[in-house]
Amino acid sequence: MPRCAPSRRPPLSRARGFTLIEAAIATMIVGSGIVAVMGAQRAFHLQNEWAAEAATAQQLGAEMRELMLGLPQRDPVTNDDLWGAEPDESGAGDFDDLDDFDGAAFDAADGSGPLNALREPIADMDGWRQRVVVENIDPFELTRTVDDGASDLMRVTVVVERRAAAGEAPRECTRVSWIAPRR
């Protein structure tokens, strides 16, 4: 009878797979990557939020500039040197010259603004406000202000502010300034 050769088993080798330490290190690396991606995504959202707010602020400043662009410096009816709104002018709809806007604020909180170029309050702009500063400037030194009515040049500045939450102080978002010569 033929003899069977003893069966040859392959030698026992180490089991294939990952050790607990290797799996833990891989988990830490993948976890760190996920945390980094989440942090980058949060930074992107914050940056995007800021960009949207800055664009809105610039648009609100441009609306006021467009509203005031064709206005004369002095009252076209009385042509007097009264600075600011005349006694019969109570709001933006009545203002007919640049100096009428000095010190005016158009705020969503009181329903007066912010305004578009047609002098209408823009809906759904909670927390936004446009403040206007009109000042006479020295024609030979544009950074120096002079007394009201003492110059043929005016600098108009629109400060656009936003109040993020009720009761919070408004925060300046942008300024739009231009120089208006006497017409």
CA gap 40, 49 in Å, rounded: 14
Q: Which helix (H) or strand (E) holds 21?
A: helix 20-68
* Neighbouring-strand partners of residue 133: 157
> Tens digits of per-residue pLDDT, 88-144?
888 888 888 888 899 999 998 888 889 999 999 999 988 999 999 999 999 999 899
> How confident is the model at residue 99, as a pLDDT?
87
Provide the whole-model pTM. 0.72
Of 183, 181, 178, the residue nearest 66 (C-alpha):
178
Q: How far is CA 15 from CA 9, 10, 11, 12, 23, in A?
A: 16, 13, 12, 9, 15
